[in-house]
Each structure stands twice: as C-alpha cells, then as structure tokens.
Structure 1
Amino acid sequence: MARTDGRAGAAKRNKKEDLMEDLEAVNLAADWADISQGLRKDLGHQLHSQWIKPIQLGAFDDETGTLDLFLPTEFSANWVKDRFADRLTLAWKIARGNIRNVNIQVHPGRRKVPDIALGDGRRPANDGGDMGIMVNGPGVINDAGFTSSVGLDASLTFAAFITGETNILACNAAQRMAATEQPQFSPLYIKAGTGQGKTHLLHAIGHQYLASHPRARIFYCSAERFMVEFVQALKANQMIEFKARLRSFDLLLVDDIQFIIGKASAQEELLYTIDHLLAEGKRLVFAADRAPQALDGVEPRLLSRLSMGLVADIQAADIELRKKILESKLTRFAPLDVPEDVIEFLARTITRNVRELVGGLNKLIAYAQLTGQVVSLQLAEEQLTDILSANRRRITIDEIQRTVCQFYRIDRSEMSSKRRARAVVRPRQVAMYLSKVLTPRSYPEIGRKFGGRDHSTVIHAVRLIEDLRQRDADMDGDVRSLLRQLES
C-alpha cells in the first residue's frame, strides 16, 4: 500500500512539474510575442521579418538565468548575435527579471536535406544546410540520387502571376529567360520591394524552363544560403567539389542577393561562377530589394556582373493591380460572396505590398468561415485592425482640412469659423469625419483643431456623415474621392 501511495505521489508530482513547465513555456511565449512586436516597431518590418521573426524559443536555465534562442542557420545565428544580442538581452531582462542573458545559436534539430553526389561517388561537406535545390524535373529522382520534391514551389508559376503596369516588364523578361530560345540578355536582375513578387518570378522561371528543358539542372538558393555553404565547404576543405557542383547547372536562380555580404572570398567565388556560366551560355537570374548599385558591402566587379544584363524593376502594385490580384484569389473561395466594396476597401487601404494584401484577404475569409459571419466592410475593419494600421499613411488634421477646403472651394479659415451657412458647415463636418477615420486623434483633440469646438459637436458630425453616406450617393462619392486623394 505504501509503495502504491508512493507511486501515486510521484505521478502527481511529475504531473504538477509538467504543468509548471507548460505554464512557463506559455509565459515565455507571451513575453516573446510582446518583445518581438516591440522590436518590429524599432527595426522596421523588413529587418524584423528577416532576422527576428525566425527566432524560436529554447529552454530557460533558472540557475544561470540563461534563455536559449534558436535560429535556422549558422549565418543567421551569427548575424543576430553580432547585431542584436545586447538588445535582445535587455528586452528579456525588462520582461522577466530572472533572465540575465540569452544564448543565440543554431537550432539543433534543423531539417536535414540530402546533398548532391559528385561524379566520383563522394559527397561535398554538408551539415544539414539546404544550399538551394538541384532539379531534374518535379518529383523525380535524378542520376545523383537527389530528390527534387522539395524544390520549386508548385503554386508559383507564370499562370498564377497577375500582371499590371507596375510589373509587366519584369514578368516579360522572366518569361524570355525561361523560353526555349537563348535570351538576348543574361543575367536577369529583378528588383522589387518585400512582398511584390520577385521570388514568385524566380520560381516561375524554374518551372517554365523545366517544361522546355526536361533534363535541365536548376539551382535555386538564397544569397544567405550561398554564404553558409561556401563557409562550410571552406572549413571542410571541400572547395574543389563546391566549385564543380556550383558550375554544373544550366540555370542559376539566386534570391535576396542583398545579403551577399561579408567575406570577400565568397563574393569572389560567386563572381567566378557567374563568369564561368555566362561563358558557357548558361542562364542566371538574381533578385533583390534594391538596385545593384545600391547593394552594401559588395565589391565593384561583382556589382558590374550583376548589372551587365537586364535590370527589371517591379514597382509597388497600383490600386488596379491590387484589385485584380484580390479578384483572382477569390476564385479559391467560391461560392463565398465577398462584396465589391470590401475588395475596393482592401485594395485602397493595404498598399505596402502584395503579400500583406493577400494575407489580409485570407485572414478575413478564414474568420468569416470559422465564425459563420458574412464578409462585410464592417467585419474587415474590425478584424484587420493591425494590417490596416500598419498600412495607413500618417495623415494630419491640417492636411485633411486643406484637402477638404480645396475640394469644396472654401477658404481654409472656415474650418475654425463660427459661420453656420450650409456651404461651410457640411465641408467642416466632412473634415471632422475624415479626421476621425484617418487619424488616431480623440474627439476632444479634433474639436480643438476646428476652432475649439466641443467633442459632442465632432461626434454629431461623424454620425451625420456616416448616415449621409448610406442615404446620399453624392455625399458618399465626395467622401470616397477625398479618401483617395488623402491616401494616395
């Protein structure tokens, strides 16, 4: 009986310890969410997405006060350690007093990817990194024994790439690069901001090239991955194999070339590889978020090679292209009804990049389907608050007043005057309404900007214009026109 009670007591203690560990993990995750959000505001979306977002929480050692933070690659771990270790440590100390330092390292369980056998049966050094993908046709085991099923994203094709005035040049150039006949230019350099479609075009080139060259050898990687594999080959004394492997491809696709920084020897190797492949008539495509001349820490000879072909720019999608993209995505959700005013609202409001635009649509539709609600403008405004806030330009009340006065052709002083003529009152009320919609200002703050009016006057104006927009097509048209001017 005593033994049974002992086992029961031990089981209870173990269960309690497990619960405590689970609770600690939940608390750490909640703190990390707050810290990550703060760093996103400090560093900006691009730096945060590239370096902070991939961090995974590890174990916390209460005795030493050390928290493990994991990153997927040695390169990213070293980068974050060099540049953000102090900031991360301080943030955790503020969030949790018992954390005294952080240990930034490569995740021990990172995914292993098969490497590529060399002609003599040996394999180059590879400690689990995925230096790009060699493709011999989708889902086929090639002669080297490497499966390409982890290769190009099947959804990123030319057929799925929606074109408009801002991206048609890059799309046409990409199709030329993938065509059967030899292109007139190489390399192709695609410049585009985050989430505008440059990675999509790289994958589409790979798919199209395979369709016309079934036995082609394609190499797709990020510049960061190239740097990691280069360093690993150097340390393992496998540079001859590394070079032979790299120069054996028919199509080289390198993404995020802006991260080809640091070691001059790695840049030199890429330079020689470019020269070798070009001399053999091979095709090269690079993508980055800036022009070649704007790359930091890249030697002039490499910059010259990157820009010697065609530099195709993808501009930020205009409102017409954003609407086309949303409408194309809606076919996946048929027969779900998404009103035209919701599409117009999303296209007009989410302007930073296409990825956020599509993500906003997906989030809205998922919420509607899971809760059984009807997709509406009100639901979009309620559920996409974070995305909408991040995309809204900082518009001032002064700017709103100036724009409204120009639109209605009244003097700017009328915004603060005591005149009650309809020709003055209605524009003033529209300006108050827009001030509440487009700025974070409170009702009293808005009232002070309109001649020291009481907050109740502003509330009345906002409700009145909201009501008029529902009943009066002319008023709704005026407000829509003003919104386009102010948000453009």
Structure 2
Amino acid sequence: MGEAERAWARVRQNLRESAGARLFDQWLKPITLVAHDDPDTVRLALPSAFVTNWVRSHYADRLTLEFKALMPRVRSVSIETRAAGDAPVTIAAPVADPSPATVADAPRATAAERPSLDPRFTFDRFVVDSSNMVAFNAARALAEPGAPRFSPLFLHAGTGQGKTHLMHAIGHAYLARHPQAHVICMSAERFMYDFVQAMRARDTFAFKQRLRGADLLLIDDLQFIAGKDSTQEEFFHTINEVMGANKRLVISADRCPQALDGVEARIVGRMAAGLVADIKAPALPLRRAILDRKLIDVPGARVPPDVLDLLAHRIHANIRELEGALNRVIAYAQLTGQAIDMDFAVATLGDVLRGAQRRVTIDEIQKLVSQHFELKPLDLVSARRARAVARPRQIAMYLAKRLTTRSLPEIGRKFGGRDHSTVIHAVKRIEELRDTDRDVDDAVRVLMRELEG
C-alpha cells in the first residue's frame, strides 16, 4: 500500500468518527481514491454529480486539511464525478473498527462536520422575556430527549428578532444529547437550490434520501419558497416523511402559516398542525438586557451605562441592528484607542442614530390609515362602531402604540377622547388578528413600511 492509500485509509477513519455512521455511509463512504501520478494533488471520485457537489460544498476544506496533515507536500484535493468504468480508480480503503493505536495516531475531529450551526447561537446566550418566552420554551422542549411532544415547531417573527438563533440552539442542544444524530439546518433558498441541482443532475434520489433521513430537520425563512410549485411539491413530501417517522421538524418564517402568500394550503395545514410560536419585537427592557448579555462576550470592552441606554432607546428595528451598533462602537474604540463615552458613541453612530431617529406622529398614522382603507380621517376619531371603521381604527391605535412614544392615555385622547383601556384592547386584538387574518397582517405590514420609510 502506497503513501496516498495509507493516508486515505486514515482520512476515511477520521471522517467516520467525526461525521457519525449515518452521514458517513450516506455521503462519504462512496468516495474512492483515483490512481494518479501528480504528488501535489489528491484526486477523489464519486459516482454521482449531486453527491459530488454536496461533498465539495461541505467537506472540500476538511479533506484538504486532513491530507495536508498526513502528506505535507499535497497542495490540493480534487473531488470529481466518475461513473464506473470511466477511469481506473483504486479500491476504497476499508474502514475498520478503530483500535486504540489508530485513534491515538489520528488527528482528532473538529467542528467542521457541523458547519451550518453558528456556535454563538445557543440557548444560554438567548435573552428571554415575555415577548419570546413561548418560542424559547418550545424550542428547548423540542431539543429534549425522548419522543417529541410536538412536531413541527413553527417559529415566526420579523427580521433579526431571534428565529435563527433559536433554530441553531435546538440543533446544538439536540446534538449534545445525540452526537451521532443526523441533523440538517438549511434555508428555504438552499432547499430550492439543492433540489434544482439534483434535478439537473438527474439524481433526486440522494437529495430525498438525505433530507428524509434526518433526525432533526431545520428549515429557515420558509416564505422564500412561495410560488415555486415543483419545490413546494418536494417540500411537502419531505415534511410528510419527517413527521410520519416521528422525527423533529422546525420551520421558521417572517409571518404565521396562514399569512404565507403563495404557499400551498396543504403545506400551511401541516405547519399549523404543530406548535406555532411567535417572537414579538423586543421592548426596551429586553433590548437593554441583550446589550448587557452581548458585553459578556467582550470582557475587555468598557461601555458606560448611558451609552447602552442610548442604543437601547434609539435602535429598536431589530436585535441584529442593535448588536451591530454595539459591535461598531467597540471596534472603533479598539482601532482608535479612544475611551467609549456618550460623545464618542454619537460621533461613531451618527448615521445609524439619525436613521433610527425618524419620528412617526399619530396624525401621520391616522392620515395614512384613512387613505389605505378609503376613509375620512374624521372617521377614525368618530363614535362610529361599524366594522369598516372600527377595524382600521384599531389598526391605527396599534400602530400608534408600536411606532410612537405616546402613552396609552395620550393615544386614546387622539382617537376621539377614548379611554386607555380601549387602546389596550385594540392593540391586543390586532396582535391576535395578525396571526390569523392574512388581510389584517398584510395591511399592517404595508402601513408600517410606509410609516417607517
């Protein structure tokens, strides 16, 4: 056995130990070492174009590092598609049960086999309050050992509110308890891309086998699958297989299942049959707590409380933007050697703070809502209770609460002298309807975009 064959035998052994038997057998076991004369290049072959593309995208770097560690002169690893008979290939090195000597000599596995899970997104780094508690508890429950209490779990929230964080946290927690489990985490766009590539390669079987064999399947941003008929067909059968096998399924989107335009009713029905949990926009206390938690990860940074208060008050679009502002302040301070104070933060974040400083007034809200629903502005402050007026009035009150700093009594006074309890009822009612009534949710989204723009 030559040097390349000995190295390949060890690389295969390392891959099996790190990836687990199921993933290895499905994707990596078919790899063979191609006979070649170039000592600087290792050539590997697979019998299918689709599997070749998958291995290239997920394991090319890992294979290169493994071979370089064992054969320092190797400069690159080529992963090719070669059907039987296309060219001479060596017989794949057998994978024996690891002996103590083999394990001791082999390089240990790294986290490369789980590239799709962000190491920052774990349950202990997720800040919880009433706006996200149901979603957080549901996510933890789904990651617990034993038969899942519910599946699928459908998480919905606006951009940057923590959906992806919870999905990755589920993956981390589940793998911690089941290290050999087959976990797949992908966006809906990636699902579409992989499916299209499989169809072009005329090899959809491996694609179906891979996803339907998952113990935990995580699909992010389902709204992007809308209108793609062939992809929706495959998606429906995939989730059917996963749910039918009592496996764990987690889906996320920017809105509730019933509000997903362009998504087939049977898919919506499947999603709604599980547990649907929303994450609301973070209120001021949660935004401030998130900044405190973020600082724990940067122990050398010194950010005064008044600067944190400024960020929490002024940046409320989403958590991602809030964390980005804090990162920017800290990075600029480290690069310039300056201490962080209020003047430094304002100078550093001038454009960000100006963008977040847009002040929406109740008058603007009333004018835009009346135009949207083809009403007179006076209708919103009148005593009329007809549904055609009452529902737009509730939406206007909801927007006033979300987009202005006015108190509940002040909002009530601007709507014909109504009591603050009426405003509370309107806000709760619209929150409920956004989860169940597509027309209401769409109207609120359109109005918010126009007001915030």
Whether 1:125 and 2:50 are equivalent positions in the alignment is yes
Q: Is the partner of 2:123 in helix, strand or coil? A: coil
In 1: Cα distance, 2:203 partner to 2:291 partner: 48
Preserved contact between residue 131 and residue 229 of structure 1 (Cα < 8 Å):
no
> Which of 283, 298, 317 is the equivalent residue of 2:248?
283
| Cα deviation, residue 262, structure 1 | 3.5
> Which of 273, 276, 280 is the equivalent residue of 1:311?
276
Change (3 A) 1:355 1:123: same
> Which of 156, 161, 182 is the equivalent residue of 2:121?
156
Change (3 A) 1:124 1:188: farther
Change (3 A) 1:127 1:293: farther
| CA distances 1:449-471 after superposition (whole Å, capped 9, x unpaired) | xxxxxxxxxxxxxxxxxxxxxxx
Preserved contact between residue 188 and residue 220 of structure 2 (Cα < 8 Å):
yes
The correspondence of residues 156-305 of structure 1 with structure 2, limited to 5 A, is 156-305=121-270
Q: Is the partner of 1:311 in helix, strand or coil? A: strand
| CA distances 1:124-180 after superposition (whole Å, capped 9, x unpaired) | 51574699979xxxxxx9x9x995152311121111111111111111100001001
Q: Is the partner of 1:312 in helix, strand or coil? A: strand
> Which of 355, 378, 396 is the equivalent residue of 2:320?
355
Equivalence for 2:433: none
Preserved contact between residue 188 and residue 309 of structure 1 (Cα < 8 Å):
yes
Q: Is the partner of 1:125 in helix, strand or coil? A: helix
Question: Structure 1 counterpart of 2:269, which letter?
Answer: S
Q: What is the aligned-residue identity percentage?
A: 49
In 2: Cα distance, 1:130 partner to 1:123 partner: 11
Preserved contact between residue 28 and residue 55 of structure 2 (Cα < 8 Å):
no
Question: Structure 1 counterpart of 2:113, which letter?
Answer: S
In 2: Cα distance, 1:282 partner to 1:313 partner: 22
In 2: Cα distance, 1:181 partner to 1:214 partner: 15
Change (3 A) 1:397 1:297: closer
- Say what the alpha-carbon RMSD is for the aligned residues: 3.1
Preserved contact between residue 130 and residue 225 of structure 1 (Cα < 8 Å):
no
Equivalence for 2:330: 365
Change (3 A) 1:379 1:371: same
Q: Is the partner of 1:159 in helix, strand or coil? A: helix
Q: Is the partner of 1:154 in helix, strand or coil? A: coil
In 2: Cα distance, 1:397 partner to 1:209 partner: 47
Gaps of 5+ in 2: 1-23, 32-46, 60-65, 67-94, 96-108, 365-403, 405-451
| Cα deviation, residue 182, structure 1 | 2.1
Change (3 A) 1:365 1:225: same
| CA distances 1:19-43 after superposition (whole Å, capped 9, x unpaired) | xxxxxxxxxxxxxxxxxxxxxxxxx
| CA distances 1:329-359 after superposition (whole Å, capped 9, x unpaired) | 1123334332111111110110000111111
Q: Is the partner of 1:221 in helix, strand or coil? A: strand
Equivalence for 2:294: 329
Q: Which has the higher contact order (CA 8 A, sep 6+)?
A: 2
Which is greater in Rg?
A: 1
Q: Is the partner of 2:191 in helix, strand or coil? A: helix
In 1: Cα distance, 2:55 partner to 2:188 partner: 12
TM-score for the superposition, normalised by structure 2: 0.57
Preserved contact between residue 131 and residue 226 of structure 1 (Cα < 8 Å):
no
TM-score for the superposition, normalised by structure 1: 0.53
| Cα deviation, residue 241, structure 1 | 2.2
| CA distances 1:261-296 after superposition (whole Å, capped 9, x unpaired) | 333121111111111111111000011111111212
In 1: Cα distance, 2:331 partner to 2:217 partner: 37
Change (3 A) 1:395 1:381: farther
In 1: Cα distance, 2:218 partner to 2:357 partner: 35
> Which of 299, 304, 307 is the equivalent residue of 1:339?
304
Preserved contact between residue 133 and residue 220 of structure 1 (Cα < 8 Å):
no
Preserved contact between residue 115 and residue 124 of structure 1 (Cα < 8 Å):
no
| Cα deviation, residue 394, structure 1 | 2.6
Preserved contact between residue 132 and residue 219 of structure 1 (Cα < 8 Å):
no
Q: Is the partner of 2:125 in helix, strand or coil? A: coil
Aligned length: 280
In 2: Cα distance, 1:297 partner to 1:336 partner: 47
Change (3 A) 1:330 1:147: closer
